[in-house]
Structure 1
């Protein structure tokens, strides 16, 4: 039976007004001179680095006249625009990096518009470099497209708002004591078609304040002329550690027979495995075995330390050395002894008890105010009895995944959605009212792609590139046990083909191809959202296609449900409230939440493989969190 009252509550709309200031305990102690000082990339740690977080100068200027009247610029035209844009003669003031100008912590409080460019500049000291060293400047994420200049000269461009990019600025640095960096950013938000997640210019309800520019840490580091650019360490439960990496060699120093050394150590510092792996065409692929591995699990998140060193004769005895870590575990979907498809970790079934995690904070929006803020959310959910966080339509900073790895929290990682303006009928109203539509709407025809806002070839290309790079960037994190490709039809297209491509790229993790509705009989889960009907288990009667067909039934999960709302006075940013339920007291809300969670857990005996409760915290007008937006009140405690 459809709950009409909840449906009507979900359909409420209004124009957002002013928001109230709100701050987490971690934001209250934010030190502008020491903003997020931790090394940003725990899977590839080098000793010689300098953080660039802190105050930069910023300016906001109109885009060049010839680009102002286009509805949606192609990626090529955006890069041409960035290359042609003149740097401002003066800047408007200071911005606290890595907080975007829309975030209160940035000190700007200004929403970048689709017809504007955002500029940053900062002068940095240049470390002493010898002829076999390189200087690399790194950005954790810049939303969306950007061009980096050094002392007024082009240095690098990047497209993609959720993944890191690097620029080798050595040739600018030789013989210099300082350099001036300037970064020009263009971000149309939802006026464009690029992957953007939950950001919307007209924010409200389930859509959040847009943000632009630098929103993850920036730093530079000194590396060897031959150095590791990327590294993924994937350990299986049988003790096999797969190693994949790519190297940079701008001087052409690599020779046949050059290699990397890999040493694996346990918690007592003892070497448990070591290997010398050959470098072939600037790539490394290989495997080493650890006897009797200590397996990783949420209850025992055991990590091994790993040291990696490049042995290249052209480096004249020097090495590019870095430290990392790995774990051994296996994640898969298969049938249990009763023939029911379930999620298995290390060969044993695990019932998924998850929470939807948007990753937003009042002072930083998508940027956590501190490393402690990341840890707080993970521990709060772990202590509440959950074993999984579904990182929703966002690629988080690398340190969040590191904390999930070391604290023992499973992660379902969403791809970032985008495309044109979403159709409320196709993405919300029709599937809400007509459940039969959930598995009767193809996503591989031009007309249906247009209905799902994925008609743009630029969007489809960038979605695939971003998702592929996401998988490659995050592959070494043992906490990540499922990739989620599409959510509620937002920008969905060709889910069967995309599942096959991601499975080919990473066959070690299950895939949730279509979370919510518009199932295409692919992936490892039949994944439904259920906010408006009694919770039930739907048998997967449709024969799966592609690689999933080998295993027969897919596991059934309720990948979103709940959403009960409770406002806590003094801990909200808006007078408006989005969510479901109208409880007279906090105790009544707690009873409803616990009853709903118990109801979902009881379905395990009927074949449910797991659930995802909505959600970890309040976010702006969404007041359905287990924690308040400022994280000062745990409503469930």
Structure 2
């Protein structure tokens, strides 16, 4: 066996992380009163208090009790990892996040209750008032409420919330949140990320309303649930068209809606609805709501809306923000996304493995867009994860049930943690027969899916494939509509509007100047597939997301890459009403000229003294693109010298991009500041970067010049004098591997022992096992040479190094060596 003399086993330098990118709405955030709007538009009451704003926060060990001292203040409801929270810290799976706020108890009547509502807390929340636990909730996307009336004292009360969120290391559905962002996965959002509020209600009050439109029979089915003693209580529902119905609590009522005004993206008409709880004929509780009369169905293997064929021309919207992550900066920002998507001529949004706040769906209802709602992906294949996935799915359906915009539930995506697909698809359809179910979006991307030539989408209303860049066409199956669940992914890099230019990517790339013609060409092919039977297509994606730069609009929502009027014109072949979706939005048009043409002029400005860090960063990236290596290195050195805070992930990633040689300015920065860099980037990251460079610049030339018998002793002094421990570590590793590959057992012995003793904790388990095998081979060699004592010592070292599955064979060999002749 021969070991490759390289560093492929070492960790990547620095994971992708937040940049300083902001949206225009960040400046509008009032830290004392962020997101002040009523958070639940389908159950509106008058008596409520918004608790968003400045709270105290602390991060502790997972086993800790409530802290006595807090670390600072956080702006709720922005995730702690976000810039808008004012904290921008990662929460680890070994930690708890604590929130604290003082509540003032307002006067309530004897028969009134105070409810504490949370829009969403990711993932496990425990709530305390005045030191007493009053409730808990598990689930990162679902609303929950607690009756806190009896826990509140007069005047001031301490509200404390503890949160545990393992992100991608637990059984929790977490969508595309990961601890170390990369490619299609993004920065995590932990803790409170939707509005927190108090609401005063009667002791017997409306707790839930379920609304199901039926346009074929001209009626709305209403089920009203109430909490508290409901004897002698009745329900009355009054629609804005004058129709009304009365009936019993917790039963289904039929509201006539004759000559219904249908809801659709072309005419998103909504009826207002007032629901009253009455005690012996007297109104005791009232909520304001609304509904839309619409029907979604599959007819003739096509998608029909309100019994008319409607092509679903949509986008894959992931709901991430550069400054708020999972949480939009303001309510205007939240609705902007839907307006921008409609403005481009789309009538459909696939909300990708994220559940949004209620107000997002309210705007989808009000503005008019068809929504395909994904379930949030099952975390892994464990039974614990599957049970949590199924529990949260039921809550998702109940929470979002009343929104007329939602027309499709998407169960699984591309086989991610897929299991028991047919049964779960049928169960989802049974839970909500009023909508379509897409049991497996992108089944063709599921490499583990069992072959079933008869029906790969058993129980599903759709056949759904993904095709990048595409487009593509799903297979025809009886009774099912054919859709393209994802396609596109065309990257158009937009300088000065990128999260991390060094890592930006897409499935294919075109220039800004060539994007419109490329997109129009792809849409012509899509129109051909529509003629063959395609009923819907979801383009990836409306907005760039972190390093994924295949959006039609940049991540900061500032630059549109094809003019909106041009987009609507292109879409009109599939969406005849596209031009009627025009909206007045503030968006720049992408510069179709090559920005690198300005390089010479910008470099002249730099040489004349312009040295602000952001200018240098942008110019350095440009220098790389035009292959000006000398100035790229010089610019990176100036960036290190002029930037006040180098120890952010984005800055460290940028410096790392320009640090590829021991002569580069960033090399000494990484060598001398390893601990500070690792505190930001992760254990061992700086060390590995430095060792990679030492290996390429020092060790490889040394070995090339020395052949099979290098003078290791002389070289060791040189390498350790210049580079300290990192130099010694990579030297010992290289010496051990080179010696093994050349059967030089003496040099192998001289290197492997200090390497394992001093640096063994950083050696991967797989590499340690490989070295252990060779240590055992050396022991066998010594034993055959009659050096039994030394052989036993080496075999004992091998036993300590190898994996458990390999230990029995080593133990047998060791016992044989120990036997006396």
Within 5 Å, which residues of 2 pair with 1:535-554?
Answer: 535-541=471-477, 552-554=478-480
Q: What residue number does 1:523 align with?
A: 460
Greater RCO structure (CA 8 Å; 6+ sep) = 1
Distance between the aligned counterparts of 1:263 and 1:318, measured in 2? 13
Q: Deviations 1:235-289 (Å, cap 9, x if unpaired)?
A: 222321011232211xxx321x4211100014xxxx1x1111202xxx2322211
2:238 corresponds, among 243, 263, 268, to 263
Preserved CA contact (<8 Å) 2:62 2:95: yes
CA-to-aligned-CA distance 1:80-127 (integer Å, 9 cap, x gap): xxxxx5110111000000001101100111010000000000001111
Q: Is 1:275 the counterpart of 2:275 in the alignment?
A: no
SS in 1 for 2:267: coil
Match of residue 4 from structure 1: none
Does residue 359 of the first structure (1) align with residue 319 of the second (2)?
A: yes
Task: Assess if the C-alpha contact under 8 Å between 2:18 and 2:187 holds in 1.
Answer: no
Q: Residues 17 and 263 (structure 1 numbering): CA distance in 2 closer, same or farther, change over 3 Å?
A: closer
Secondary structure at the aligned position of 2:255 is classed as strand
- Find 1:594's aligned residue among 501, 520, 534: 520
Cα 1:536–1:107 change in 2 (3 A) is closer
Question: Is 2:303 the partner of 1:347?
Answer: no
Could you list the per-position Cα deviations for residues 362-396 of structure 1 after superposition, in whole angstroms to 9, with x for gaps in the alignment? 11001001111122111111111100000000000
| Bigger radius of gyration among the two | 2
Contact 2:44 2:288 in 1 (8 A): yes
In 2: Cα distance, 1:17 partner to 1:605 partner? 42
Task: Measure the CA separation in 2 of the matches of 1:553 and 1:233.
Answer: 27
Equivalent-residue separation in structure 2 for 1:46 and 1:540 (angstroms): 48
TM-superposed deviation, 1:17: 4.4
Question: What is the SS of the residue equivalent to 2:508?
Answer: coil
Match of 1:447 in 2: none
- Distance in 2, matches of 1:154 and 1:384, equals 49
Q: TM-score by structure 1 length? A: 0.83
1:288 to 1:112, Cα distance in 2 relative to 1, 3 A: same
Aligned equivalents of 2:24 and 2:520: distance in 1? Answer: 27
Q: Could you tell me whether the CA contact under 8 Å between 1:563 and 1:624 is conserved in 2?
A: yes
Structure 1 unaligned spans of 5+ = 1-12, 65-84, 336-340, 421-453, 542-551
The Cα offsets for residues 41-79 of structure 1, whole Å up to 9 and x where unpaired, read as 000000000001111000000112xxxxxxxxxxxxxxx
Matched, 1:630 2:629: no
- Aligned-pair distance for 1:28? 2.3
- Correspondence for 1:206 among 184, 189, 194: 184
- CA distance in 2 between counterparts of 1:590 and 1:27 reads 30
- 1:582 counterpart residue number: 509
- The RMSD of aligned alpha carbons is 1.5
Q: Distance in 2 between matches of 1:200 and 1:18?
A: 11
**8 Å contact kept, 2:378–2:386:** no
For the structure 1 residues 520 and 300, does the alpha-carbon distance in structure 2 shift closer, same or farther, using more than 3 Å as the test? closer
Residues in 1 aligned to 2:252 and 2:428: alpha-carbon distance in whole angstroms: 19
Is 1:103–2:82 an aligned residue pair? yes
Q: How many residues align?
A: 539
Q: 1:135-172, CA deviations, whole angstroms, 9 ceiling, x for partnerless residues?
A: 00101000000100001001110000011110100111
Q: Which residue does the alignment assign to 1:22? A: 21
2: distance between equivalents of 1:419 and 1:587?
A: 41
What's the CA shift for 1:311?
Answer: 1.2
Aligned counterpart in structure 2 of residue 163 of structure 1, from 142, 152, 177: 142
SS at match of 2:40: coil
Q: Which residue of 2 aligns with 1:321?
A: 286
Whole-angstrom CA distance in 1 between matches of 2:199 and 2:172: 30
Matched, 1:415 2:336: no
- What CA distance in whole angstroms lies between the structure 1 residues aligned with 2:513 and 2:13? 29
- 1:61: which partner in 2? 60
CA distance in 1 between partners of 2:352 and 2:235 (Å): 36
- For 1:459, what is the secondary structure of its paired residue? helix
Shift of residue 591, structure 1, vs aligned partner: 2.1
> Of the candidates 42, 46, 67, which is equivalent to residue 88 of structure 1?
67
Do the aligned residues in 1 keep the contact of 2:471 with 2:488 (CA within 8 Å)?
Answer: no
The 3-state SS of whatever aligns with 1:319 is strand
| 1:311-332 per-position Cα deviation (integer Å, ceiling 9, x unaligned) | 135xx94511110001111111
Structure 1 or 2: more strand by fraction: 1
In structure 2, the residue corresponding to 1:320 is in which secondary structure?
Answer: strand
Which residue does the alignment assign to 1:472? 398
1:39 aligned counterpart, secondary structure: coil
For 1:168 and 1:149, the matched residues in 2 are separated by 12
Higher helix residue share: 2
TM-score, normalized by length of structure 2? 0.64
Cα distance in 2 for residues equivalent to 1:463 and 1:20: 32
The 3-state SS of whatever aligns with 1:625 is coil
Distance 1:43 1:560 in 2: 31
Is the CA contact 1:14–1:204 (under 8 Å) kept in the aligned structure 2? no
Unaligned runs of 5+ in 2: 1-11, 444-448, 450-455, 564-821
Shift of 1:15: 4.4
SS in structure 2 of the partner of residue 16 of structure 1: coil
